Amino acid sequence: MERLQKIIAQSGIASRRHAEELIKSGRVKVNGTVVTELGTKVEKNQPIEVDGVRLSKEEPVYFLLYKPRGVVTTASDDKKRKTVVDLIPTDMRIYPVGRLDYDTTGVLLLTNDGTLTNLLTHPKNKIDKVYRVKVKGIAKAEQIIPLQEGVVIDGVKTAPAKVKLRKTDPSKNTSMIEITIHEGRNHQVKKMMQAVGLDVLKLTRIRFAFLTLDGLTSGNYRKLNPKEVKRLYELAQSKKHKTNKKHL
């Protein structure tokens, strides 16, 4: 017996969290009966439908994309804009792991593996996300230090971040900052910079976990190899175990 949301995630149709939303909204049937209660356990061979479509388990696939500007980080868009999924020709039902803003570029993982997606996006597992940020103005120590300690955005203080001032250009009145966070709040990096008086001109995610842009150009992608997939699982699970030990 497995939890219903886990089976849906393993089918490749959605992440674990999205699967929970599908269940709560009454879009899932088991044996022809609508199920809305989270945590419901079912046999893997029981017929499960989402929006009237019978689930079939897909082989897991993993893609690393160099997301360009002007593309939305979603599997589909009601405004008919190009999505990150459109950039990867595959018949598999893949979806992005986390989000990058419309005008943000950089490392983005796409997969149909709901279990891995849940591990990598759960805030307790503290997966590093590293960004290179070009800001207007010459950044000062009194702006960098609060970012390292955590700043309040949307009424909630962010977790401490690793922040390095990489470069300043007095002639253009700009600075280049590298920031490492592990949260995934909406527009987080931009809002953190705004909180200390810095306006973002350009934002690129240069690393997610240990995955980088090496060998890729904007709009290109590659498949992850088995060793990389295994390492992602090991990394996320090790972070999870460390967190659990702290609460014992």
For the chain, which residues make up each domain, given as ranges?
2-54, 62-123+211-243, 128-208
Residues annotated as catalytic are: 101
pLDDT of 18 reads: 85
pLDDT, tens digit (0-9, with 9 covering 90-100), for 126-165: 999 999 999 999 999 999 999 999 999 999 999 999 999 9
**Element holding 233 (H helix, E strand):** helix 226-246
Q: For domain 128-208, which architecture applies?
A: 2-Layer Sandwich (3.30)
Q: What is the CA radius of gyration of the chain?
A: 20
pLDDT at 98 exceeding the cut of 70: yes
Q: For domain 62-123+211-243, which architecture applies?
A: 2-Layer Sandwich (3.30)
pLDDT of 78 reads: 86
Asked if domains 2-54 and 128-208 share a fold, the reply is no
Superfamily of domain covering 2-54:
RNA-binding S4 domain (3.10.290.10)
Q: What angle do CA 91, 97, 102 make, to 5 degrees?
A: 95
Closest among 170, 147, 167 to 157, alpha carbons compared: 147
